Structure 1
Amino acid sequence: MTAKHIIDMTGKVVLITGGSRGLGREMALGFAEAGADLIIASRKMPNCEAVAAEIEAMGRRALPVGAHVAQWDQCDKLIEAAYHAFGRVDVLINNAGMSPIYDKPTDIDEMLYDKVLDLNLKGPFRLSTVIGERMMEGDGGSIINVSSVAAIRPRKNVITYAAAKAGLNAMTEALADAYGPNVRVNGIMPGPFLTDISKAWDMDAFQKRADEAIAMRRGGAPDEVTAAALYLASDHAGYTTGAILKIDGGSR
């Protein structure tokens, strides 16, 4: 492998929402290892600070920001904090999301419905449009939306989440059209990953399902999304925009 094939993010500024745990944390550490500086955003500031400390120990700059990106004004405050600290954002990763448990569809009241749609769809819209325009006015950039295979294989237990992620997929393609050629907008569509959320799963039942319905016969490891995000953020993906990359182990 020659040097030109190695992804180097030195000098890049990356903003990751939901960056304090799970896939977000793994991507944040992966980008730091590749040389990037990070803005780590999530609702819980102490968790952001912990990840920022890990990144700074690697010799990179990191800004922790406590922000609930389901709220329009907090998206704006996050954007201003990022630009105040670094002067630009080169890569935006909309990773924050939620999929609450419920027994039946009518248990989804208006408040829960709004929470799911706001976090999974409204927040990425606000961040992508404002930062996307600033990227266009500057040196360009890359936006990566973290969706879910629920967007294309919805089930009864993720109705609002699946609807929001389907909307996120559509928005990804639309924003790629809106902000090209200087800003690329792509999506990652993960399947079942063994992050901290999987601690609440019945793992025997999950393994039985994996044996029957996942080609790889297992759940994904969190760091197995990182390389895809690095590729989509880098110049190696210079002709890739409006793409949705499914990473689900061959689930069906």
Structure 2
Amino acid sequence: MSGELSGKVAAVTGGSRGIGLAIAEGFARAGADVVIASRKLENCEAVARRLTKEHGVRALPVAYHAARWEDSDRLADTVLSEFGRCDVLVNNAGMSPRHDGVGTIDEAYFDKVSGVNLKGPFRLSIRLGQRMVEAGGGSIINISTIGSLRPGADELVYACAKAGLNALTVGLSGEFAPAVRVNALLPGAVETDIAAAWPPDVRESAHRGTPLARLGTPADFVGPALWLATGASSFVTGTLIRVDGGAYRQMS
């Protein structure tokens, strides 16, 4: 899809690694100027330099902590002041720290996980989504998880927050219609630096439970994200799209 996003501006949270990095690279390859936002500014800066060098687009690094309401405001203000517009927002920043059982989860853990996975996407979507409506068009893409559909105890707070992100997706698809489309991608098990630390039995279970017989990779999300970001999906909104190798295949 080379050139398909020329003249567009895309903001990607959690854009310095994993799925977010792959999507940011895909958008830059398609001609979009990109905002790379994540907690570690130096990582964002390194990605931004590389994307500009390799694809000739403008890439802006921004430090961003999704659990902080004011950081979402600051990121939105930065995008709009630097570019004057935002055509695509990808809410990808997320976290799911391991814990020693649901009984050990404290308020700090709950608030941190909920903040990163739901509060940040909520505030950023409102700020940039409203500007998209004023401009007459745009696309918001939320990165959720298939665990939001069938949560396990080992990721319960994360799954609850992502289920809220699913609700945000559906709700804003009506609120911002017809100008702005809002959809979500729901990853299954994905080969990232986080997955590298999984015990062997967990990795093997992920392989066995997937009809396509492998873990996903960040590159598997570039095509779906590009589709949702462009006019190729102009009649698609309010949709939760499972990108999980068929692991959670179901009729509804």
Q: TM-score range by the shorter chain?
A: over 0.9
For 1:184, what is the secondary structure of its paired residue? strand
Match of 1:60 in 2: 57
For 1:92, what is the secondary structure of its paired residue? strand
Contact conserved, 1:19 with 1:95, CA < 8 A, in 2? yes
In structure 2, distance between residues paired with 1:64 and 1:166 = 29
For 1:162, what is the secondary structure of its paired residue? helix
Change (3 A) 1:211 1:77: closer
Question: TM-score, normalised to structure 2's length?
Answer: 0.95
Match of 1:221 in 2: 217
Identity %: 48
For 2:71, what is the secondary structure of its paired residue? helix
Structure 2: which 5+ residue stretches go unaligned?
Answer: none
Shift of 1:7: 7.0
In structure 1, distance between residues paired with 2:92 and 2:32 = 17
Change (3 A) 1:179 1:98: same
Runs of 4+ in 1 over 3 A off after TM superposition: none
**Aligned residue pair count:** 247
The residue type paired with residue 45 of structure 2 is: E
Shift of 1:165: 0.6
Match of 1:230 in 2: 226
In structure 2, distance between residues paired with 1:108 and 1:125 = 23
Structure 1: which 5+ residue stretches go unaligned?
Answer: none
Match of 1:125 in 2: 122
* 1:190-229 equivalences in 2 (<5 Å): 190-202=187-199, 204-229=200-225
Shift of 1:194: 0.2
Question: TM-score, normalised to structure 1's length?
Answer: 0.95
Deviation string 1:151-196 (CA, Å, 9 cap, x unpaired) is 0010010010000011110110000000000000000000011012
Match of 1:247 in 2: 243
Shift of 1:212: 2.7
Deviation string 1:108-127 (CA, Å, 9 cap, x unpaired) is 10011000111100100000
In structure 2, distance between residues paired with 1:185 and 1:95 = 14
1:50 aligned residue (36, 46, 50): 46
Contact conserved, 1:117 with 1:164, CA < 8 A, in 2? yes
The residue type paired with residue 165 of structure 1 is: K
Shift of 1:106: 1.6
In structure 1, distance between residues paired with 2:131 and 2:204 = 47
In structure 1, distance between residues paired with 2:183 and 2:108 = 30
In structure 2, distance between residues paired with 1:6 and 1:22 = 22
| 1:32 and 2:28 matched | yes
Shift of 1:208: 2.5
In structure 1, distance between residues paired with 2:186 and 2:162 = 9
